[in-house]
Amino acid sequence: RKRLSERARARRRKVGGPAFQQLKAACQACPLVIVQDEAGGDWCALLRFRSPTFVDVHDPADVYPPQLWFEVEATFSGPPGSEAALPGGRYACAQVLKSWALPFLAGRSLGQICHIVQLAISDKKILGYSNGKIVPYARSLNRAKEACAQSRQPFAEGPEDGQTVASWPSLRKCLEDVLEQSREDGRCGVPLADFK
């Protein structure tokens, strides 16, 4: 979906629910394609006679050499990487990192870079989140919370810049809108990660 939406935006076209529903129906009708439902009401289409070689970005296994992690850490601990504020999604972040032409990412697929970003956030504590962006861990919200916990101080931070605290009615309306859009797109749910 993301790749199709990205390609449509590049051509200044809108891709919505009916188009995805038609695409899914066409894939289901094709004998060379297997359609599999995924979490959150999403789906994928795979070629029947080709084994999938996709990278599972949620796989906790670190299959990368220690040198790669040394270089990732060095990139984000010194200038200009220490000041980086990358897009908040793994996919968009991976696209930006690939565009930087970092030598240690040369030859790696976008899926592998997404996996590296995920591990750098969830396992290695090299990257983290702040104000909806992926940033070096030293500048992340989790690091700030960790520092408060270590000093046994409460973490008291208001809403992020430009954001307000939602009321219960406005939150309910927002959730209804998101779920309605999901139904229009032909999905039967929304992945929890989409609410971050």
| 135 class by beta-carbon count within 10 Å (0-12 exposed, 13-18 middle, 19+ buried) | buried
- pLDDT over 90, % of the chain: 38
Q: Map tokens 């891709």 to a residue.
A: 15
Q: For position 185, what pLDDT does the model report? A: 67
- For the stretch 24-33, pLDDT in tens is 899 999 999 9
Residue 13's φ and ψ, nearest 5 degrees, are -120, 155
* Integer Cα distance of 84 and 180 in angstroms: 35
Q: Is the pLDDT of residue 196 over 70?
A: no
Q: What is the pTM of this model?
A: 0.66
Give the model's pLDDT for residue 160: 57
Q: Kindly give the pairing relationship between strand 43-47 and strand 133-136.
A: unpaired
The pLDDT, as a whole number, for residue 63 is 95
pLDDT, residue 20, reads 78
In SS3 terms, 139-196 reads as HCHHHHHHHHHHCCCCCCCCCCCCCCCCCHHHHHHHHHHHHHHHHHCCCCCCCHHHHC
Structural tokens at position 92: 């968009």
Residue 163 confidence (pLDDT): 61
**What pLDDT, on the 0 to 100 scale, is given for residue 167?**
81
State the residue for tokens 């929304």: 190
Q: By percentage, how much of the chain surpasses pLDDT 70?
A: 85
Question: Of 187 and 109, which is predicted with more confidence?
Answer: 109
